Amino acid sequence: MKTFQYFADGNWRDPASGQWFESDDPATGKPWARIPRCDARDVEIAVAAAQRCFTQGPWSRMNAADRGRMLRRMGDVVTRHAERLGDVETTDNGKRRRDIVPALQGWLTDSFHYYAGLADKIEGAVIPVDAPGLFNYTRHEPFGVCGCITAWNSPLVIAIWKMAPALAAGNTLVIKPSEHASASTLALMEVLQEADLPPGLLNVVTGFGDEAGCALVEHPDVRLLSFTGGVAGGRQVAELAARQVKPLILELGGKSPQIVLRDADLDLAVPGIAGGIFPPAGQSCIAGSRALVHRSLHDRFVEALCSHLADALPGDPRDPATQVAPIANRPHFERVLRDIEGARAEGARCVLGGKAVHPEGLGGWFIPPTVFTGVTPDMDITRKEIFGPVMAVLPFDDEEEALRLANDTPYGLAAGIWTADAVRAMRMAEKLEAGTVYINNYFNATPQSPVGGYKQSGYGRENGIEGMKAFMQTKSVWLGMAP
Ligand code: NDP
């Protein structure tokens, strides 16, 4: 078993508690790593280091172009070590290696490079105010120490999506990954040291949400929080943050609809919709878990989907042939199975999957693609974020009903539309209550385009110029010009 330390002030440290907890390999179901159980004392060390770095260290004197050069180096390091980082993430949370390694070499490296390019393009404005003899201008300034709390399904993606814009904006960071998948974020810290980072710039405290997580949220020197996780956790963090009127970016869950219009090309829609949920076993915030299908296509769609998925079984995430990832941790595996049983109990019909499977030689947590029909809008399977490989298929009769069903959810993260009529799709996109709408594609994300939620899927944006502005505050400066 590998024993990790946490990372603060440029050093690896044992937790003040003297305690570690185990992290399991989802493919085998066996523990493979010991993760430090940090508490408020470790958070104090990390936040103090981040605060020193922000106010006194070389970072506080570094100009924007130099910040950009540092981010470029960080991207290059991530490309160089993509295989090693991918191995850790695959072992720790079961993400398919064939997904995470190219992502690190491609669009996650690009994230660093994109924000490297933006770092020296932060411009204020001269505001033409209605006040004679006064000159007014704005500055966009970093917050200082930012606390970043990440979810277990994609720790590297989420950490990089926060880290790159936050650093471009000039902040320093303390990251708290999920107790269920902390190892890859620690491995990222290890390799990033090659990019010559000042001590205290990036710190990672591991541990439990209600211990290390709460301590980070409540620390008075943490000036902004960026949280990715479920609605329940997000709400708790928002309540704690509100006590100190602390600004917050919330990236929460979803129950995203995939709308298949009457003129959709099923040869495109079926693999697109299957690919939008099943490869990570539904463990993606934007997983398209509700297929809303025009009644005339419903039976053909279900048949084509089941036949497309017939061989798509979960397996070893290290094997490049594996089509569906394992479930990342045991409590979640048990929760997904309970939700499947719940869907049966409420009268939905399981037409594919629906039971755990046990690939030979692996003792871990595997659930195959599972599809339910006979679903109604009020059932739990239609309303609850299962965060597993479970899809509900519902028929609709016209555009208006499709939109009503699509928006009939407290979530608003993403939506898909499949149709030959792009103008109609754009008209519908305006009416969908979702932060991202995909037309005839799904699951795409690049550093340039903002992502985030409507309704209970959160607020604030990641990626794009907005993603960097979220980590900055605006100051208005007034100069009296009278002699
Ligand atoms: P949780 O909300 O359970 O946890 C998220 C993070 O918050 C973890 O690091 C957790 O620590 C921590 N945490 C939980 N409670 C608190 C608290 N009171 N104070 C401080 N920190 C706390 O989410 P999951 O990890 O289970 O992730 C799955 C969820 O994340 C899904 O709903 C998914 O949709 C969402 N998600 C959203 C994304 C987006 O961009 N919108 C992207 C990816 C996932 P610990 O685990 O140690 O308790």
**How far, in Å, are 109, 199, 448 from residue 115 at the CA level?**
10, 21, 9
Q: Residue 389 in contact with residue 312, Cβ under 8 Å? A: no
At 357 the pLDDT is: 97
Q: Is the pLDDT of residue 108 over 90?
A: yes
pLDDT tens across 169-202, in order? Answer: 999 999 999 999 999 999 999 999 999 999 999 9
pLDDT tens across 20-76, in order? Answer: 999 999 999 999 999 999 999 999 999 999 999 999 989 999 999 999 999 999 999
- 452 close to ligand 1 (CB < 6 Angstrom): no
Architecture of the domain delimited by 2-252+457-478: 3-Layer(aba) Sandwich (3.40)
Q: Residue 168 in contact with residue 71, Cβ under 8 Å? A: yes
State the pLDDT confidence band at 337, using cuts at 50, 70 and 90: very high
At 72 the pLDDT is: 98
Token output for 439: 């037309």
pLDDT tens across 8-19, in order? Answer: 999 999 999 999
**How far, in Å, are 38, 231, 253, 442 from residue 455 at the CA level?**
33, 11, 10, 20
Residues designated as active site:
251, 285
- 239 close to ligand 1 (CB < 6 Angstrom): no
Q: From the CA of 211, how far away is ligand 1's center (Å)?
A: 14
Q: What distance, in Å, lies between the first and last C-alpha atoms of the chain? A: 72
At 270 the pLDDT is: 98
Which of 20, 153, 211 is the best mutation target for the ligand 1 pocket, counting ligand atoms within 8 Å of the beta carbon and taking the most? 153
Q: What's the average model confidence in pLDDT over 368-396?
A: 98
SS (H, E, C) the chain: CEECCEEECCEEECCCCCCEEEEEECCCCEEEEEEECCCHHHHHHHHHHHHHHHHCCHHHHCCHHHHHHHHHHHHHHHHHCHHHHHHHHHHHHCCCHHHHHHHHHHHHHHHHHHHHHHHHHCCCCEECCCCCCEEEEEEEEECCEEEEECCCCCHHHHHHHHHHHHHHCCCEEEEECCCCCCHHHHHHHHHHHHHCCCCCCEEECCCCHHHHHHHHHHCCCEEEEEEECCHHHHHHHHHHHHHCCCCEEEECCCCCEEEECCCCCHHHHHHHHHHCCCCCCCCCCCCCCEEEEEHHHHHHHHHHHHHHCCCCCECCCCCCCCCECCCCCHHHHHHHHHHHHHHHHCCCEEEECCCCECCCCCCCCECCCEEEECCCCCCHHHHCCCCCCEEEEEEECCHHHHHHHHHCCCCCCEEEEECCCHHHHHHHHHHCCCCEEEECCCCCCCCCCCECCCHHHEECCECHHHHHHCCEEEEEEEEECCC
Q: From the CA of 94, how far away is ligand 1's center (Å)?
A: 17
Q: From the CA of 213, how far away is ligand 1's center (Å)?
A: 10
Q: Residue whose CA is closest, atom 34 of ligand 1?
A: 253
Which of 152, 206, 334 is the best mutation target for the ligand 1 pocket, counting ligand atoms within 8 Å of the beta carbon and taking the most? 152
- 210 close to ligand 1 (CB < 6 Angstrom): yes
- 257-445 belongs to CATH 3.40.50.360: no
- 180 close to ligand 1 (CB < 6 Angstrom): yes
Q: What's the average model confidence in pLDDT over 85-89?
A: 98
* % of the chain surpassing 90 pLDDT: 99
Q: From the CA of 453, how far away is ligand 1's center (Å)?
A: 15
Which residues, other chains included, contact 398 with Cβ-Cβ below 8 Å and sequence gap of 6+? none
- 217 close to ligand 1 (CB < 6 Angstrom): yes
Q: From the CA of 234, how far away is ligand 1's center (Å)?
A: 7
Q: Residue whose CA is closest, atom 39 of ligand 1?
A: 251
- 252 close to ligand 1 (CB < 6 Angstrom): yes
Atom number, ligand 1, closest to the C-alpha of residue 154: 43
* % of the chain surpassing 70 pLDDT: 100
State the pLDDT confidence band at 483, using cuts at 50, 70 and 90: confident
- 251 close to ligand 1 (CB < 6 Angstrom): yes
- 211 close to ligand 1 (CB < 6 Angstrom): no
Token output for 129: 């105010």
Rounded to an integer, what distance in angstroms lies between the CA atom of residue 147 and that of residue 145?
7
pLDDT tens across 339-362, in order? Answer: 999 999 999 999 999 999 999 999
Token output for 95: 């993400």
Q: Is the pLDDT of residue 482 over 90?
A: no
- 285 close to ligand 1 (CB < 6 Angstrom): yes
Atom number, ligand 1, closest to the C-alpha of residue 152: 25
- 237 close to ligand 1 (CB < 6 Angstrom): yes
Q: From the CA of 130, how far away is ligand 1's center (Å)?
A: 46
Rounded to an integer, what distance in angstroms lies between the CA atom of residue 337 and that of residue 325?
16
Q: From the CA of 342, how far away is ligand 1's center (Å)?
A: 23
What is the location of CATH 3.40.605.10 in the chain? 2-252+457-478
Atom number, ligand 1, closest to the C-alpha of residue 285: 34
Q: From the CA of 152, how far away is ligand 1's center (Å)?
A: 7
Rounded to an integer, what distance in angstroms lies between the CA atom of residue 397 and that of residue 102?
41
- pTM of the entire structure? 0.97
Rounded to an integer, what distance in angstroms lies between the CA atom of residue 88 and that of residue 273?
29
What is the location of CATH 3.40.309.10 in the chain? 257-445
pLDDT tens across 245-284, in order? Answer: 999 999 999 999 999 999 999 999 999 999 999 999 999 9
Token output for 81: 């070590």
Q: Residue whose CA is closest, atom 20 of ligand 1?
A: 213
